[in-house]
């Protein structure tokens, strides 16, 4: 669980994060999105104790990060966007170093290293010097480092930069499996497709403030009460379709073209099912009928004012 | 298992730098070098004997009996030379390597972007400090370890004595640890942008430690103990060195003890600074807390009186001693000021709290100047004590106390001005504000010097007036006694008080400016 209360950070006379309140329950994958300069990285750095807030409080797993940094660190795994690794160590030595640094017990270190190496797919590179690894492999090693001590909270700042598409998919799977094991994940990114179908909640940050936060379905429902439905059919039923749709008050913006079209709909799923049933009963041979889901990108474009100073 | 052996940071360095192949190669190279040094030592001793034989053949001196004795002593002489060479080589390697590797330890990690990951581990600052201190120069320690049996055997064979051999190693290792700690501290003060300045500082520190050997002929001979070169000759030569011993409160103590005392005392302060700051963000680093800074000023003053050793044939009088102490305190108070500069955001918070009567002038995040005043008061109190303690040598004159008070006030005002200027620089958007501020101050003092020379051309009096107005030198030139200082000195103090007032106003104006409610940094 991550809890940020009235978190504020000033750099000189600039406010980077402005009284941020955020609560991420256990098991959530929370996507923090926003333009460059919105305060995402500063927020994450304060959450993992790298930066002392000007004021406010950060609690991770009910431990005050500022008050008990050492205790808090055992629950936190952190990965930043641009990072480096110790090139003169072997892969296993690098992970062993961090396992020791997180004060894991000696007997569990060896087993955990093998587990983590397997999780990030670096088995064949176990005894290779890091110097000889590719950029993507180093990124995987960074992820392995972040999870070596089985943290309850993962803070990832642009974690997928440098990963190839396959590795990105693997990263998603890895994070999902960590969530299933009860980990809470805060992930920041400005590549919105990275977060699609993966985050359970999102927060949109601008000018140091959270302009919107919540579970994706809730935010979507709040922001887009009007749902867009697309349909297709076969045969010469365009006029029937237009007539049926036009008769229904809950529909608007009806746009038909040949054997397909779309309309805006406000109402419950039951009402939507009735629309489909009416079309079918009027002998319209419907081949597809479905709602166009709002992507995170659509939401962001809708909610964000794209303001930086 | 020793504490450091399982330290993760030490283990990392050991693994990276002492892989089997490299360790064998280094050991082999060390062995070869030892053999070469041994051959050179033998050749040198044999050459000396040969020269003596030639002189004996030509001039009859030394006599045959003396020559025979020299021949008998040849192996022992060669062994002594070999031992000395090995010990000095090890001391040099360890000191140089420790300083330059530790001086890049933290700044290097910051530059490579690996530092944040160390900071987010559960390693305490003490763990990081120990690991880096012994880990960064691990190869140099390995070289010394390879040399140790050879040096120890040759030392014992040369009849140096086990205690002397052990003491020499104690001095070499303790000096390397202290130098490494100082390097580590320097390294923590610099980030990638100012790493060049850090390296210059490292070179300066190395030069100071090497040249501090020359303090042994000053009135603070104990400071020579910073250099291992002060104590090592005594320990590596069988008859000991003829260098005069340092004093502590007038009592002579061995150089080894003096060096260990200095290393431990200053090492403890450096360790305290590192412990406070090593895991903090660069912008939030403050070497010491306010009270610790005052304590450090008191410690340094105390050390001055403890190490003071007047020349027996020309001891200073109480006036010149007072002036010397005040000058030293100028530097000490400046250091306190720099150590107590408040970061912008902390000062702003203090300002807001002060408005709500939740903070005072002496709060930890407040302005530095009250602490400078406090340090000066402590220094002056210790001056009274010091003059009293050394009254038999210096003579206790009340005019020294009154003159010292005015000198201390002058120094305090000028230093406060400089520190407030640096604080103001820190509130601006200057990049590397402290370095730039210090450079501006250097420019100011150079300009003051030029003005003084220009006005001195007209008359010496005019020159004195100018430097009294612009610098604290007027109060410290040793020409005034008691309270009878030239008007220029009081004029200078008044003028600088006005400048201090202006700087305080500028700082308050900066603090009153509302912050911009937008972010452009951090991502």
pLDDT at A309 over 70: no
pLDDT the model gives residue B412: 96
Calpha distance B423→B414 (Å, rounded):
14
As for the ipTM of the complex, it is 0.84
User: Which pTM does this prediction carry?
Assistant: 0.86
User: What is the pLDDT of chain B when averaged over all its residues?
Assistant: 89
- B17 touches A: beta carbon within 8 Å: yes
Q: Is B1 near chain A, with CB under 8 Å?
A: no
Q: Which of A64, A98, A196, A77 is nearest to A146 (CA)?
A: A77
- Measured between CA atoms, how close is A59 to chain B, in angstroms? 15
Between A236-245, B61-70, B232-241, B386-395, the lowest mean confidence (pLDDT) is in B232-241
Task: Measure Cα distances from A248 to A243, A245, A263 in Å.
Answer: 9, 6, 11
How far is B196 from B183, CA to CA, in rounded Å?
14
Average pLDDT value for residue range B384-407: 87
In terms of CA atoms, which chain A residue is nearest residue B117? A78
Listed residue (A164, A162, A1) closest to A75, CA to CA:
A1
Nearest-CA distance from B430 to chain A in Å? 11
Q: Does residue B313 sit at the A interface (CB-CB below 8 Å)?
A: no
The alpha carbons of chain B give a radius of gyration, in whole angstroms, of 28
Mean pLDDT over all residues of chain A?
Answer: 86
Chain A contacts of B351, Cβ < 8 Å?
A: none
Residues 6+ apart with CB under 8 A from B132: B9, B102, B105, B106, B184
Q: How far apart are CA B83 and CA B72, in angstroms?
A: 18
B518 band by pLDDT with thresholds 50, 70 and 90: low
- Minimum-distance CB partner of A12 among B114, B344, B514: B344
Residues of chain B with Cβ-Cβ distance to A309 below 8 Å are: 516, 518-520
pLDDT digits (tens, 9 = 90+) for B462-481: 888 898 999 998 888 877 77
Q: Which residue has the higher pLDDT, A221 or A178?
A: A178
Contact flag A74-B116 (C-beta cutoff 8 Å) = no
Pick from A14, A55, A157 the residue to mutate for testing the B interface (most B CBs within 10 Å).
A14
Top-confidence range, B61-65, B352-356, B435-439: B435-439
Summarize pLDDT for B239-269 with one digit per residue, the tens. Answer: 655 668 899 988 999 999 999 999 999 999 9
Mean pLDDT of the region B284-288: 88
Asked if residue A204 has pLDDT above 80, the reply is yes
Write out pLDDT tens, residues B175-230.
999 999 999 999 998 876 666 777 788 888 888 887 888 888 888 899 999 998 88
Which chain B residues are closer than 8 Å to A9 by Cβ?
A: 345, 522
Average pLDDT over residues A136-150: 90
Give B42-92 as a DSSP string: HHHHHHHHHHHHHHHHHH--S-HHHHHHHHHHHHHHHHHHHHHHHHHHHHH
Q: Which of A100, A144, A159, A210 to mutate to test the interface with B (most CBs of B within 10 A)?
A: A100
Closest Cα in chain A, distance from residue B123 (Å) = 6
What is the per-residue pLDDT for A305?
Answer: 59
- pLDDT score, position B142: 97
Q: What's the CA gap between A271 and A265, in Å, rounded?
A: 9
Instruction: Indicate the pairing of strand A76-79 with strand A55-60.
Output: unpaired
Closest-CA distance, A213 to chain B, in angstroms, reads: 19
Residues of B in contact with A130 (CB under 8 A): none
Residues of B in contact with A88 (CB under 8 A): 16-17
At A100, list the tokens. 């020791």
Considering only CB atoms, A73 lies closest to which of B112, B120, B513, namely B120
A172/B441: higher pLDDT: B441
CB-CB neighbors (< 8 A) of A83 in chain B: 113-114, 116-117
Q: How far is CA B238 from the centre of its chain?
A: 31
**Closest listed residue to residue B383, CA positions, set B423, B412, B350:** B412
B64-102 vs B195-211: helix axis angle to the nearest 10? 150
pLDDT value at residue B241 = 58
- Strongest mean pLDDT among B220-234, B350-364, B411-425: B411-425
Q: What is the pLDDT of residue B519?
A: 46
- Give the pLDDT score at A193: 67
pLDDT at B336: 93
Share of chain B above pLDDT 70, in %: 96
Contacts of B522 in chain A (CB under 8 A): 9, 11, 16-17, 37, 39-42, 45
- Whether residue A257 is predicted with pLDDT greater than 50 in this model: the reply is yes
pLDDT class of A218 with cuts at 50, 70, 90: confident
B180-192 pLDDT per residue, tens: 999 999 999 887 6
| Residues B227/B228/B231/B234 CA torsion (nearest 10 deg) | -130
Nearest beta carbon to residue B120 from set A14, A37, A76: A76
Mean pLDDT, residues A148-154 taken together? 93
Asked if B519's CB is within 8 angstroms of A207's CB, the reply is: yes
**Is the per-residue pLDDT at B318 higher than 80?**
yes
Q: Is B523 on the interface with A (CB under 8 A)?
A: yes
Contact A9 B8 (CB under 8 A): no
Q: Which of B122, B280, B514 minimises the CB distance to A102? A: B122
Sign of the alpha-carbon torsion through A35, A41, A47, A53: negative
């Amino acid at each position: 669980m991550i809890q940020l209360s009235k978190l504020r950070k000033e750099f000189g006379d600039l406010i980077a994060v402005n009284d941020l309140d955020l609560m991420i329950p256990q098991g959530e994958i929370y996507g923090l999105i926003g333009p460059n300069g919105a305060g995402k990285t500063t927020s994450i750095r304060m959450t993992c104790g790298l930066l002392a807030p000007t004021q406010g409080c950060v609690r991770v797993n009910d431990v005050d990060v500022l008050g008990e940094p050492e205790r808090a660190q055992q629950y936190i795994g952190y990965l930043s966007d641009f990072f480096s690794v110790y090139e003169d160590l072997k892969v296993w030595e690098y992970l062993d170093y961090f396992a020791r640094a997180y004060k894991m017990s000696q007997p569990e270190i060896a087993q955990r290293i093998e587990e983590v190496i397997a999780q990030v797919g670096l088995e064949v590179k176990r005894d290779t010097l890091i110097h000889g690894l590719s950029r993507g492999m180093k990124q995987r090693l960074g992820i392995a480092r972040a999870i070596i001590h089985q943290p309850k909270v993962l803070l990832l700042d642009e974690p997928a930069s440098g990963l190839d598409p396959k590795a990105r998919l693997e990263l998603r799977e890895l994070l999902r499996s960590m969530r299933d094991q009860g980990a809470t994940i805060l992930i920041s990114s400005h590549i919105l497709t990275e977060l699609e179908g993966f985050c359970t909640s999102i927060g949109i940050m601008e000018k140091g403030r959270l302009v919107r936060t919540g579970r994706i379905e809730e935010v979507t429902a709040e922001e887009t009460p009007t749902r867009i439905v697309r349909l297709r059919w076969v045969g010469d039923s365009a006029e029937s379709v237009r007539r049926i749709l036009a008769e229904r008050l809950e529909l608007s913006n009806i746009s038909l073209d040949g054997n397909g079209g779309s309309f805006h709909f406000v109402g419950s799923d039951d009402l939507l099912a009735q629309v489909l049933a009416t079309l079918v009963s009027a002998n319209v041979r419907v081949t597809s009928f479905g709602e166009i889901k709002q992507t995170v990108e659509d939401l962001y474009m809708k909610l964000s004012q794209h303001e930086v100073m | 298992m020793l504490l450091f052996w399982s330290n993760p940071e030490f283990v990392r360095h050991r693994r990276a730098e002492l892989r089997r192949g490299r360790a064998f190669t280094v050991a082999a190279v060390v062995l070869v070098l030892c053999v070469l040094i041994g051959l050179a030592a033998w050749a040198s001793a044999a050459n000396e004997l040969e020269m003596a034989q030639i002189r004996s053949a030509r001039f009859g001196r030394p006599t045959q009996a003396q020559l025979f004795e020299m021949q008998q002593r040849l192996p022992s002489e060669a062994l002594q030379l070999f031992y000395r060479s090995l010990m000095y080589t090890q001391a040099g390697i360890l000191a140089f390597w420790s300083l330059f590797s530790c001086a890049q330890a933290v700044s290097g990690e910051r530059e490579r972007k690996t530092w944040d990951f160390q900071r987010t581990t559960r390693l305490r600052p003490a763990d990081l400090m120990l690991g880096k201190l012994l880990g960064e120069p691990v190869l140099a320690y390995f070289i010394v370890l390879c040399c140790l049996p050879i040096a120890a055997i040759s030392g014992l064979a040369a009849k140096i004595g086990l205690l002397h051999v052990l003491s020499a190693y104690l001095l070499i290792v303790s000096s390397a640890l202290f130098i490494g700690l100082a390097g580590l501290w320097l390294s923590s003060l610099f980030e990638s942008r100012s790493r060049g300045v850090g390296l210059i500082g490292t070179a300066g520190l190395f030069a100071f430690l090497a040249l501090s050997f020359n303090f042994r002929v000053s009135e603070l001979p104990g400071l020579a103990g910073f250099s291992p070169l002060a104590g090592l000759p005594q320990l590596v030569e069988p008859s000991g060195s003829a260098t005069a011993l340092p004093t502590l409160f007038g009592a002579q103590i061995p150089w080894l003890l003096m060096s260990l005392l200095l290393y431990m005392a200053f090492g403890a302060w450096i360790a305290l600074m590192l412990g406070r700051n090593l895991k903090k963000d660069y912008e939030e680093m403050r070497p010491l807390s306010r009270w610790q800074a005052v304590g450090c000023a008191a410690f340094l003053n105390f050390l001055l009186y403890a190490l003071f050793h007047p020349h027996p044939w020309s001891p200073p009088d109480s006036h010149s001693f007072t002036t010397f102490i005040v000058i030293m305190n100028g530097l000490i108070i400046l250091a306190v000021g720099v150590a107590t500069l408040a970061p912008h955001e902390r000062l702003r918070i203090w300002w807001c709290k002060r408005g709500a009567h939740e903070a005072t002038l002496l709060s930890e995040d407040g302005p530095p100047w009250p602490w400078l005043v406090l340090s000066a008061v402590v220094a002056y109190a210790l001056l009274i004590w010091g003059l009293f303690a050394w009254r038999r040598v210096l003579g206790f004159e009340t005019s020294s106390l009154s003159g010292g008070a005015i000198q201390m006030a002058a120094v305090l005002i000028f230093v406060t001005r400089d520190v407030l200027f640096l604080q103001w620089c820190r509130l601006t958007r200057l990049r590397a504000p402290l370095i730039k501020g210090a450079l501006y101050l250097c420019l100011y003092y150079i300009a003051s010097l030029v003005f003084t020379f220009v006005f001195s051309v007209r008359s010496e009096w005019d020159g004195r007036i100018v430097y009294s107005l612009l610098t604290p030198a007027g109060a410290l030139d040793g020409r005034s006694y008691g309270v009878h200082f030239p008007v220029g000195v009081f004029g200078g103090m008044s003028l600088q008080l006005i400048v201090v007032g202006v700087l305080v106003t500028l700082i308050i104006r900066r603090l009153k400016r509302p912050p911009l409610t937008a972010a452009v940094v951090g991502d």
